[in-house]
Structure 1
Amino acid sequence: MYVLTADQRASRVNADAVPSALAVVTRRGAGGLALPPERTAGDELQVAVADASAALSIVLELTRTGEWSVGLGVGAVESPLPQSVRAARGEAFINARDAVDRAKKTPTRVAVTAAAGGEDAEALIRLLVELRDRRSPEGWEVYDLLADGLTQRDAAARLGVSEGAISLRAKAAALRVEEAAVPALERVLAHLDDGTRTASAPERG
């Protein structure tokens, strides 16, 4: 299981970004969410995710704005899952707390904690986030159009520029690099989750 804990940066001087982030997480998580996202503290949100692709998509979207420090924890969780992520427990939640605390201290605003192999996944995700941080507004404009399913020709027509100009923007934005990196990172994250199982909640009494 993957648990993401995200803490809003500079929340004391900026407007509350949690409501919009909750909508982003819900949209990006799609059918991969194990528990819906919730505000877990004044400027913090948390979500449990069952799918590596959804987990990476959420991480990349939250780090894009620079507003969030994002911790990704991987591990088992207690079953049965409660209805609220705030009531859930397990190794993945402990790891997510460790990860977000470390993410607050890094320029790329992201960290990964797992029983084994988390440092490799963290290094690769940080490389991709650093690449995305260098992307210009024009590069993001092309990224968003292509992500919506437009071809480069369609994007050129939409923006009123030549296909050659779109190609140059895509190259400068390293869109092909990201396109190749994302599936590889999804496999790395899926491997981290291999062998983890949903743990039975201990009996209390």
Structure 2
Amino acid sequence: MWVMTVDQQGSQVVGDRVDAFLTEIAPYIASPERRAGVVRPFERTVGDEVQAVFADTALVVELTLHVLRLGGWSVGIGGGEVDEPLPESARAGSGSAFVLARAAVEAAKSRMRVVPLAVRGTDPDAAAEAEGVLMLLGASAARRTAAGWAVIDALTAGDPGLRQEDVAARLGITQQAVSQRLRTALWSEELAARPAAARLLSLAAGTGEDRDVRATPGAVRTPERS
């Protein structure tokens, strides 16, 4: 199992944003293609911190990048065992995955980290490698322009068969502009690297099951090459 512990940054300055986070994230993880990977949804644990439990590393990767995009949160991922039966509430759970997620989020708060993210797992080497890949993906995404995100959002929010020309028509730009923005945003490169991060997370928790590393159906789409 994989536990995500997410802690708000600077709550004393900007105020408590947990309720807004839970409102934003609930429909995102409730979609049919993501729901199967959610063992326990996000909920407030203590103070300005939230926690959730997942059985799908592809979803963990996707959610990690989504939370990093929101900004203002430190993300800790713990991969390991959970004590069964798992309580209905994630905050009442126990096991190595919970302990490791706690250690991870504390590490993620370090001011030395450009990307506020850390991974801890039963296999420390695999966890460190997963962290490295996720940090690179997060750093790359942080450099995207609003124009780049607009194309990515239009491409991923529409019908699975949506083409670049459809996105261009929707945004009122040329297909060449769509292609250029995707290249500049390194979107294809991110999609190519996500499975590697998911597989490393699987290994970090002591499992290499293929079902845990498949891309979440319908969640992301590889853009067409012009």
TM-score, normalized by the shorter chain, greater than 0.5: yes
Q: Distance in 1 between matches of 2:106 and 2:66?
A: 19
For residue 154 of structure 1, report the CA deviation from its aligned partner.
Answer: 1.0
Work out whether residues 79 and 202 of structure 2, in 8 Å CA contact, stay in contact via their aligned partners in 1: no
Q: Provide the residue aligned with 1:3 in structure 2.
A: 3
Identity of aligned residues (%): 40
1:35 aligned counterpart, secondary structure: strand
Find out whether 1:185 has 2:190 as its counterpart.
no
Within 5 A, what are the aligned runs for 1:112-127? 112-116=119-123, 117-127=126-136
Per-residue deviation, 1:56: 1.2
Q: Which residue matches 2:104? A: 99
Runs of 4+ that moved beyond 6 A: none
What amino acid is aligned across from residue 147 of structure 2 in structure 1?
A: E
SS in 1 for 2:45: strand
Select 1:143's aligned residue among 152, 168, 180.
Answer: 152
Shift of 1:41: 1.5
Can you give the 5+ residue segments of structure 2 that lack an aligned partner in the other structure? 209-226
- The residue aligned with 1:128 is 137
What does residue 75 of structure 2 align with?
Answer: 70
Deviation at 1:184, TM superposition (A): 2.0
Q: What are the Cα deviations for residues 77-120 of structure 1, in whole angstroms up to 9, with x where unaligned?
A: 11111111111101011100110011111110100001212111
The question of whether the paired residues in 2 share the 8 Å contact of 1:72 and 1:95 is answered with yes
Structure 1 CA distance for aligned equivalents of residues 23 and 198 of structure 2: 22
Residues 2, 74 of structure 1: 8 Å contact kept? yes
Deviation at 1:152, TM superposition (A): 1.1
How many residues are matched?
A: 196
CA shift for structure 1 position 191: 2.4
User: Which residues in structure 2 correspond to 1:34-49 (within 5 Å)?
Assistant: 34-49=39-54
Q: Is the 8 A contact 1:35 1:84 kept in 2?
A: yes
Letter of the structure 1 residue corresponding to residue 47 of structure 2: G
**Alpha-carbon deviation of 1:153?**
0.6
Q: CA deviation at 1:24?
A: 4.3
Q: Distance in 2 between matches of 1:115 and 1:194?
A: 6
Residues 6, 71 of structure 1: 8 Å contact kept: yes
State the partner residue of 2:116.
109
Give the Cα separation in 1 of the matches to 2:95 and 2:45. Answer: 16
Amino acid at match of 1:69: S
Q: What does residue 199 of structure 1 align with? A: none
Q: 2:48 & 2:153 partners in 1: Cα distance?
A: 27
Taking the aligned partners of 1:25 and 1:52, their CA distance within structure 2 comes to: 17
Question: Which deviations, in whole Å up to 9, do the C-alpha atoms of 1:134-182 show, x marking residues without a partner?
Answer: 0111111111111123321111111111111111111111111111111
The aligned amino acid for 2:157 is D
Q: Distance in 1 between matches of 2:24 and 2:37?
A: 14
Q: Distance in 2 between matches of 1:130 and 1:88?
A: 31
Distance 2:75 2:172 in 1: 37
Offset of 1:36 from its aligned partner? 2.1
Could you tell me which amino acid in structure 2 is paired with residue 51 of structure 1? D
Q: TM-score, normalised by structure 1?
A: 0.90
Over the aligned positions, Cα root-mean-square deviation in angstroms equals 1.6
